[in-house]
Amino acid sequence: MIPVAKPYLPSREKLDSYIDGIYERAWLTNNGQLVQELTRRLEEYLEVENLLLVANGTLALQIAYRALGISGTSYEAEAITTPFTFVATASSLKWEGVEPVFADIDETTWCLDASLIEQAITSRTKAIVPVHVFGNACDIEAIDLIAQRYDLKVVYDSSHAFGVKYQGKSILSYGDAATLSFHATKLFHTGEGGAIIFKRKEDLERAKKMINFGITGPESIEELGINAKMSELHAAIGLSVLDEIDKNIFARNQVAEFYRQQLSNHYQHQVWNGDATQNNAYIPLVLDTEERTVKLVEYFQDMNITVRRYFYPSLSTIQIEHKKNKKTMISDSIASRIVCLPIYSDLSESTLHEIVKHLLEFENKE
């Protein structure tokens, strides 16, 4: 079976050297040496400041909402976000007592349509939570202008945008905070993990207290907190993956370039923001109907190849995610017709040829 994604597994020798240090220090969690080292190295690699490592990408969102004062109040809060995203973008808001209000997406970039944000703002709106979908940059200037006009916080869900630059600057530098997921299948991962990049140092310092139960000393608790810390073992995986990140990215770029060359005139593709670099985190394409999309998935299953309907379904169609029915026809349509193709660093050339051959056969067959 050819999977749609496969974790990048770093050198065992490299990983073992980090684990040996953990055994020597007998320090497994609570801001250990490797967590501190990974924090420094990621800030350097990503060219950002105020980075905080956490246990996963969902907690990254929830801690960001709390630290910025979006959640955790008695005020009935709302946040404007996209329905074309992984479920955690919206469910993390719901867990924090913030109602997601969905605005539709741009039909070419698949990111939140900034022109629809203002009409969704109410007296309860506290934030905008856009997603850099598949690593593609949102309309950052328009979103930030709206946020300034209405005094709203902006938290960018940047789970797919590791290493992406926008106008020559890290895409993680925009908004009041940006969050990353370091799940095993991500371009960069720690097995399980995540990070928040804050615009302001004071927000970082508050979040640091929050992820450790609010504890600031042996006999001091200053915040309402939770356990969201990253362990030393997860940091060891992250450091090992980061040591080999350039090799991983180069291999993925080769895979993505092959797909682009072979499929550029076939199927519908995401239009990339011209001001942003591309990290080739995903290879999505869109078919003309949902019926054909379902048939394609089944066709590939018969060939022992996994393609994923991602993101499906559009979150606006899931009743538990929201109370207000907003018209999100573009998101609903794209979500019903999308598939993501296999991409990982050790995907062989022969396998790539096989995948493309089956795609073209399917296109010509119906």
For the question of residue 323 being annotated catalytic, the response is: no
Residue 217 CB coordination number (10 Å) = 7
What does 286-300 look like in DSSP terms, one character per residue?
Answer: E-S-HHHHHHHHHHH
The answer to whether the CB of 269 falls within 8 A of the CB of 224 is no
> Distance between CA atoms of 181 and 54, rounded to whole angstroms?
9
Write the CA distances from 33 to 27, 41, 303, integer angstroms. 8, 12, 46
Q: How many angstroms separate the CA atoms of 327 and 12, rounded?
A: 50
Which tokens is 103 given? 């605005």
Q: Which residues make Cβ contacts (< 8 Å) with residue 35, sequence separation at least 6? A: 53, 229, 230, 231, 232, 235
- Pairwise CA distance, residues 134 & 352, whole Å: 20
> Do 345 and 252 form a contact (C-beta atoms < 8 A)?
yes
Crossing angle of helices 33-46 and 12-25, rounded to 10°: 140
Given the residues 153, 186, 209, 229, the one annotated as active site: 186
Catalytic sites, residue numbers: 186
